[in-house]
């Protein structure tokens, strides 16, 4: 090949090389533009700011978002170092990080930077950008994490509060996971120890601990409730009992809260178990108070009824008794009908005893209170007690010889003893058995006296008691509850007033009644009365009942005029006849208003007034005041079916001369009139 050809070939090769170089340059430019576009795209979409510093730590590139974040234009910071932009403390921190990057390190830091709307928190990632034969650059990616940090802090604070609440709550929070309609896992919160005594670790070690902890009688209800919750049938709360780790039985309230997936399938349920033992106790106390109030109201109503019946019945008995006594006065003892009249009088006396028991139950039976030795009382009643007990029953006594006295009515205490003895004997029935009568003394506190069957509890202190035990049939809870109800009896019809009367007597003496009974083993009833202090016993204690005047005394002859006031016509006519037989001229009035009129017209000649207390228009109390105003010296004998204490409580200090309780005998009326006229 000649030189020309070689030259031409060389030019062609150079041109081809040049063309390749141009293509490579175009390709490189295209790659550069693509890289630049990618960088711009990255910078544009990066949620923070991007900047590059040279080896002198001066900013050579700054993304436009810097204006959005810091309120400055990019060219305002170009060419500046951190010392020219930030406060000294922050600038020093940035300088140290930049120098570490220039040494080849990758640095990530969190700093708080000033902002027009307040300080903002940034996380900055610094890394070296290496260049060929040139000093490295500092690449910086900064992201504003202020809101995220606030959310993280709020979340940590919320978690802390929740944890603190969970640890301090006294309720028991649990979670039950459910798969294919069956519980598969359970988580127990820290409150379980406060409610059950067991820690969450105990439940993890023993998955069936909770079920075994449920009170035996409530276990079926608990398992059934859980099954209904899992089946989606209920989310209602269940109250039941558990056995605490310490062995005590406690009430809890279990409230489930179901959790469902998108398909409304139950995936779990959370629960809150609260200790409601105290609430249950208060509810039971409230119910007991309501029961006692209703019981007291019922007894009070029955007491009012019993008192009213007894009062009216006394008037009828007075007529029967008076007419029978008048008949006996007019026939000789040898008469064929004399025994029949006496038998009728005896029956009338028994009827009067019943009315006195009704008055005692109603709280309107009066008491002649004086120091009384219960042991002496029981000893004096030996014959009466023997006559009251069945022949198949063995009677034993255990009487305390050194018994403090009580302020009591001897007659009423006799009634208490007889009612207890008769009740014990009838509990044994036709079988053989033992009745033990005891007296003694004991100290009682509020807790002991709280078991008294009376609603009114006496204050704590020293008590003397009468106790009767039997080996009879005993009583169940329902029978014990109704033991003191009027006319309630497990015996034959017509009995049962005795224990009601006993309750009225004990209530009136501010005592207490304790009952201990078990079906098939017998009953013990103890009646307690407040013991007198030594300095109170000025009078000599006695156990003897008060004596009564003889019915055989001859009727005296009186003179003068008596005003007889009673709203019962039959009774008024009877008493008028009796008084006339005494020798009196008798004026009558049917009510208080007529009484005042008759007395005003005959005030100077009236010797005495016999005044019934319960009358229409003006009652006996108002009439008495008017009589006393018209003539202060007039002797007035009050008359009532109630006892003296109840009947005369409105006359304190008004000076009634005497009192007679219906039904009264002729001899009783005679003695009272004689006493009043003599001024005794």
d(CA 674, CA 613): 21
Which pLDDT band, with edges at 50, 70 and 90, does 551 fall under? very low
Cβ atoms of 636 and 624 within 8 Å: the answer is yes
What pLDDT is recorded for position 539?
53
* Token code pair at residue 502: 């006993």
Cβ atoms of 523 and 474 within 8 Å: the answer is yes
* In the predicted structure, residue 116 carries a pLDDT above the cut 70: no
Least confident of 339-343, 486-490, 568-572: 486-490
Q: What is the mean pLDDT of residues 217-237?
A: 85
Least confident of 341-350, 447-456, 623-632: 341-350
Question: Pick the residue with more confidence: 222 or 357?
Answer: 222
Coil/strand/helix, residue 615? coil
Which pLDDT band, with edges at 50, 70 and 90, does 265 fall under? confident
Question: Pick the residue with more confidence: 90 or 565?
Answer: 565
Q: Which helix (H) or strand (E) holds 267?
A: strand 266-275
Which pLDDT band, with edges at 50, 70 and 90, does 548 fall under? very low
| C-alpha of 162 from chain center | 34
Strand (E) positions, 325-474?
Answer: 370-372, 393-398, 406-408, 433-444, 461-470
218 backbone dihedrals φ, ψ, rounded to 5°: -105, 0
Question: Pick the residue with more confidence: 560 or 326?
Answer: 560
Kindly report whether the peptide bond that precedes residue 515 is cis, defined as omega within 30 degrees of 0: no
* Token code pair at residue 589: 């009035």
d(CA 501, CA 510): 14
| C-alpha of 641 from chain center | 42
Which pLDDT band, with edges at 50, 70 and 90, does 663 fall under? confident
Question: Pick the residue with more confidence: 333 or 524?
Answer: 524
| pTM of the full structure | 0.45
What pLDDT is recorded for position 390?
83
Q: Which residue has the tokens 């030795």?
A: 373
268 backbone dihedrals φ, ψ, rounded to 5°: -170, 165
* Token code pair at residue 244: 């605490």
Cβ atoms of 660 and 637 within 8 Å: the answer is yes
* Token code pair at residue 255: 């409230």
Nearest to 543 by CA among 360, 366, 371: 371
What pLDDT is recorded for position 564?
92
Q: pLDDT tens digits for 5-16?
A: 767 777 777 777
Which pLDDT band, with edges at 50, 70 and 90, does 255 fall under? confident
Contacts of 398 (CB under 8 A, 6+ apart): 436, 437, 438, 439
Which pLDDT band, with edges at 50, 70 and 90, does 641 fall under? confident
Handedness of CA 17, 20, 25, 28 (dihedral sign): negative
* In the predicted structure, residue 73 carries a pLDDT above the cut 90: no
* Token code pair at residue 372: 């009384």
Q: pLDDT tens digits for 127-149?
A: 898 888 888 999 888 888 887 87
Q: pLDDT tens digits for 528-537?
A: 999 988 655 5
From the number of C-beta atoms within 10 Å of its C-beta (0-12, 13-18, 19+), residue 463 rates as buried
Q: What is the mean pLDDT of residues 41-56?
A: 78
Contacts of 602 (CB under 8 A, 6+ apart): 561, 563, 587
Q: What is the mean pLDDT of residues 20-43?
A: 72
Of 193-207, 344-358, 455-469, highest mean pLDDT: 455-469
Which pLDDT band, with edges at 50, 70 and 90, does 302 fall under? low
Contacts of 283 (CB under 8 A, 6+ apart): none
Q: pLDDT tens digits for 371-412?
A: 999 999 999 888 778 877 888 888 899 999 889 999 988 878
What pLDDT is recorded for position 460?
93
Which residues on adjacent β-strands are paired with residue 608? 562
What is residue 542's DSSP assignment?
B
Sheet hosting strand 249-260, strand order edge to edge: 182-188, 172-179, 266-275, 249-260, 238-243
Q: Which residue has the tokens 């169940």?
A: 476
Which pLDDT band, with edges at 50, 70 and 90, does 442 fall under? very high
* In the predicted structure, residue 483 carries a pLDDT above the cut 80: no
From the number of C-beta atoms within 10 Å of its C-beta (0-12, 13-18, 19+), residue 86 rates as middle
Burial 561-578 (b: 16+ CB within 10 A, else e): bbbbbbbbeebbebbbeb
Nearest to 558 by CA among 673, 410, 652: 673
What is residue 643's DSSP assignment?
-
The total of other beta-carbon atoms located within 10 Å of residue 269's CB is 21
Average pLDDT over the chain reads: 80
From the number of C-beta atoms within 10 Å of its C-beta (0-12, 13-18, 19+), residue 379 rates as middle
| C-alpha of 203 from chain center | 34
d(CA 82, CA 90): 8
* Token code pair at residue 129: 């950008």
* In the predicted structure, residue 494 carries a pLDDT above the cut 50: no
Query: Percent of the chain at pLDDT above 90?
Result: 13
């Amino acid at each position: 090949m000649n030189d020309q050809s070689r030259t031409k070939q060389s030019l062609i090769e150079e041109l081809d090389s040049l063309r390749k170089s141009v293509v490579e340059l175009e390709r490189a430019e295209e790659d550069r533009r693509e890289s630049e576009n990618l960088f711009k795209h990255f910078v544009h979409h990066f949620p923070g700011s991007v900047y590059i510093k040279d080896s002198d730590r001066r900013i050579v590139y700054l993304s436009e978002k810097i204006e959005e974040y810091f309120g400055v234009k990019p060219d305002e910071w170009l060419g500046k170092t951190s010392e020219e932009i930030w406060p000294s403390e922050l600038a020093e921190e940035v300088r140290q990080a930049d120098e570490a990057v220039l040494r080849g390190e990758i640095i990530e830091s969190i700093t708080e930077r000033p902002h027009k709307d307040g300080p903002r928190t940034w996380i900055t990632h610094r890394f070296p950008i290496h260049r060929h034969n040139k000093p490295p650059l500092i690449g910086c990616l900064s992201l504003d994490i202020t809101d995220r940090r606030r959310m993280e802090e709020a979340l940590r604070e919320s978690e802390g509060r929740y944890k603190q609440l969970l640890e301090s709550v006294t309720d028991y929070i649990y979670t039950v996971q459910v798969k294919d309609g069956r519980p598969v896992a359970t988580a127990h919160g820290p409150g379980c120890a406060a409610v059950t005594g067991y820690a969450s670790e105990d439940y993890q070690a023993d998955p069936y601990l909770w079920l075994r902890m449920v009170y035996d009688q409530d276990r079926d209800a608990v398992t059934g409730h859980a099954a209904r919750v899992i089946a989606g049938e209920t989310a209602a709360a269940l109250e039941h009992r558990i056995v605490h780790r310490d062995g005590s039985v406690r009430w809890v309230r279990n409230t489930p809260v179901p959790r469902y997936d998108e398909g409304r399938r139950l995936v779990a349920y959370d629960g809150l178990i609260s200790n409601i033992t105290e609430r249950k106790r208060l509810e039971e106390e409230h119910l007991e108070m309501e029961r006692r109030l209703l019981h007291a109201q019922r007894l009070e109503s029955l007491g009012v009824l019993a008192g009213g019946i007894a009062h009216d019945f006394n008037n009828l008995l007075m007529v029967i008794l008076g007419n029978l006594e008048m008949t006996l006065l007019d026939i000789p003892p040898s008469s064929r009908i004399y025994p029949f009249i006496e038998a009728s009088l005896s029956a009338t006396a028994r009827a009067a005893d019943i009315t006195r028991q009704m008055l005692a139950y109603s709280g309107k039976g009066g008491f002649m209170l004086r120091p009384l030795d219960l042991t002496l009382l029981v000893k004096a009643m030996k014959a009466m007690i023997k006559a009251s007990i069945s022949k198949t029953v063995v009677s034993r006594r255990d009487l305390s010889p050194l018994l403090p006295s009580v302020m009591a009515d001897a007659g009423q205490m006799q009634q208490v003893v007889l009612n207890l003895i008769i009740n014990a004997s009838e509990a044994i029935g036709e079988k053989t058995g033992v009745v033990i009568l005891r007296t003694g003394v004991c100290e009682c506190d509020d807790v002991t006296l709280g078991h008294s069957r009376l609603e009114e509890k006496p204050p704590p202190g020293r008590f003397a008691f009468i106790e009767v035990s039997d080996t009879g049939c005993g009583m169940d809870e329902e029978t014990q509850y109704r033991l003191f109800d009027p006319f309630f009896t497990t015996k034959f019809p017509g009995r049962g007033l005795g224990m009601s009367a006993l309750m009225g007597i004990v209530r009136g003496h501010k005592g207490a009644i304790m009952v201990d009974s078990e079906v098939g083993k017998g009953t013990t009833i103890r009646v307690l009365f407040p013991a007198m202090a030594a300095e109170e016993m000025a009078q000599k204690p006695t156990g003897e009942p008060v004596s009564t005047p003889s019915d055989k005394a001859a009727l005296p002859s009186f003179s003068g005029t008596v005003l007889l006031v009673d709203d019962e016509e039959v009774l008024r006519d009877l008493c008028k006849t009796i008084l006339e037989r005494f020798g009196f001229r008798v004026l009558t009035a049917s009510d208080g208003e007529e009484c005042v009129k008759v007395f005003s017209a005959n005030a100077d000649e009236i010797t005495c007034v016999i005044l019934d207390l319960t009358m229409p228009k003006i009652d006996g109390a108002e009439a008495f005041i008017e009589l006393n105003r018209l003539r202060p010296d007039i002797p007035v004998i009050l008359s009532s079916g109630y006892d003296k204490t109840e009947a005369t409580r409105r006359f304190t200090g008004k000076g009634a001369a005497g009192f007679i309780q219906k039904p009264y005998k002729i001899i009783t009326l005679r003695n009272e009139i004689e006493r009043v006229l003599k001024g005794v």
